[in-house]
Structure 1
């Protein structure tokens, strides 16, 4: 496991989420995507069983309030981290395969991360709060 750095906080992930994401990454329709950053996050994360995930960690299907600082632009969004099949194009759902989705997985409320975005620039994402997390709601194998 790689140590956390100021731009990459420590990650805690559900073993079930990681297994499902790894299966997803092996599907032919996603093999051509650049998933190196997501794969790197999966490799450096600490894995725990779903019931051991603290309630302030973003897991799959969690809804979080996030501030995105992209250059001189700063916006707050409430985002739900979803699998590609559930990303319906709305601004409130972000796929785990999108740069913002990959960045959010495993972060805790209060964490911030610098993340590469399309076009070759970085954005800083701050997790302000988590409104819903499946594990905290008792949905351990959704």
Structure 2
């Protein structure tokens, strides 16, 4: 029975229905794979155990039976899932599509003047504090 399980798992993987291990253990992943095969190939095999009838039918399929489902951030390319890469100036958004990066906004003269600027304390005072300018005035610690 373990050999039948392993062979059926391998052929279910070949036709795109099994994403689990090919280890001979007929577990939930294997049952789900056979369910997917039943759904996409219009068959009605008992998913509780691997059978020779199911193995023969799956083995007879030469092409993919189950659709390729790619993870978020991936796309189908030649029957495989590949990572989506965006060109420079773009990023991958939460929907999995490339989106152009927004241009940084130019600062106005008013914004420049209102932003505090930090300067080193003048030497010679020995205080070692920090000075900054705000709204055209200088302040030192």
Q: Which has the larger radius of gyration?
A: 2
Normalized per residue, which structure has more strand? 1
Normalized per residue, which structure has more helix? 2
Report the TM range for the smaller structure's normalisation.
under 0.3
Relative to the length of structure 1, the TM-score reads: 0.21
Higher RCO (Cα < 8 Å, 6 or more apart): 1
